[in-house]
Amino acid sequence: MSRHPNMKLKQTEKLEMARAIACSESKVRNWFSVFRDVLEEYEISSPTCIFNCDKTGFPLQTKSGKVLTV
The answer to pTM > 0.75 is: no
Burial class (CB in 10 A: 0-12, 13-18, 19+), 15: middle
Indicate whether 60 belongs to any domain. Answer: no
Alpha helices in 4-69 (DSSP H): 17-22, 25-41
Q: How many CB atoms lie within 10 A of CB 24?
A: 9
Domain count, the chain: 1
Indicate whether 24 belongs to any domain. Answer: yes
* Residue 1: domain span: 1-51+66-70
User: Alpha-carbon distance 22 to 38, whole Å?
Assistant: 23
pLDDT at position 66, please?
A: 65
Indicate whether 18 belongs to any domain. Answer: yes
Provide the residue-wise pLDDT of the chain in tens; the chain has 70 residues: 788 888 888 777 676 777 777 888 898 899 999 999 999 999 999 988 887 766 655 555 555 666 666 5
Q: Which of 68, 66, 55 is nearest to 11 (CA)?
A: 66
pLDDT at position 32, please?
A: 94
Indicate whether 7 belongs to any domain. Answer: yes
